[in-house]
Structure 1
């Protein structure tokens, strides 16, 4: 998961390395490269056999399902540019997922923050490639509205409130926001969605072209606007305003304010 940048990003201080990551690394160099909003960590392992990445999350973090992500990556790999799975597992402390490196660098690295329009266009083209390539009729995973509303209700029952939401939604209050989610827009086009199409989850080549997708733990069938709404939203968090049309033009679609507003609210609350 890659939420607003104040909630996730490259670690800036010391990061304790879980014992299993140390064991997996062996003699390889271990570098923490990402901490997400829920405390999950990603490490880069550099050694004589190349580069691997290990995602790790503490036990008892239900929002991150690394075995499920491994299953989704393995399913998507024949059709899409995603990291190959090398292994996964769990113990009393947490769970982990090991993937091979893929060519490309995060769309939010400093180079692309200096060229945000290039990054936004690459993200849009990458999403279109994903949506066109993955076969909906063969996908065993869903990310539809009813399933996600179940998670919204769980969070509300657990006591989550407006303080956890993005500023633009806090004014609604819990009752009004939940009522709005009961009136989803008609589906535009069903696709296999990325599930967390934030800018950091697209990798770019050195020439600014789309390279690969990462972090597909929520991949599943849904309206394509469930991805597009979040992808455009994250441009503002990572690069600043004014780039939505760049991404949508590269994808090949006109803006849709109603679907965008609905799926951003659903993403925020779920």
Structure 2
């Protein structure tokens, strides 16, 4: 069975609640499709108003982060129960910006992935290499390590339902896009890694996105690759052009 594409917007730290409503209303008719799952991962304060604005559309509202404890003295954090209570079904975990600026590690990513599954939330698990790592030829080794630790103690059934986003750090917000061949090579290596951890059926089921300066002009070629099942889109997700990325055919 062919994997359904999943195209997610990562809004990052953009859009006030009122701006979020306006953007969802603008994009609703532009992203209407049955050919792909469409997810807007938005700042925590925007989740509820965005959810209201998206009602009746094909848009799923997701979160950009989540803590791995149920509740407690963790000032400033969002728990999985808070997300599920308002109907969130997706959460980005381990984005390179979270790793770089907020000290997230492979181990905390794994804790968050396990907690998301516990609550029926689909994690979009991020991985990616820096420019130095690519230049030193360790891209595949690095990403295999990230994947293997992120999926520690995750069952095959859980893994099959998850999403992995490959984002070369050197291509995020820089306007540089990995070549189609580079993106496909790494996404295939990720799928091969999942096959090693689990089996071929799990690897065939898991959806792998490419992220990193995805645009309306690059989407079609990237998403037509055999191991790329959509994109995690940053800057372009805040513009009407996101509709062209979703309807890339």
Relative to the length of structure 1, the TM-score reads 0.30
Give the TM-score taking structure 2 as reference length.
0.32
Q: Give the number of the structure whose residues are more often helix, by fraction.
A: 2
Q: Greater CA radius of gyration, 1 or 2?
A: 1
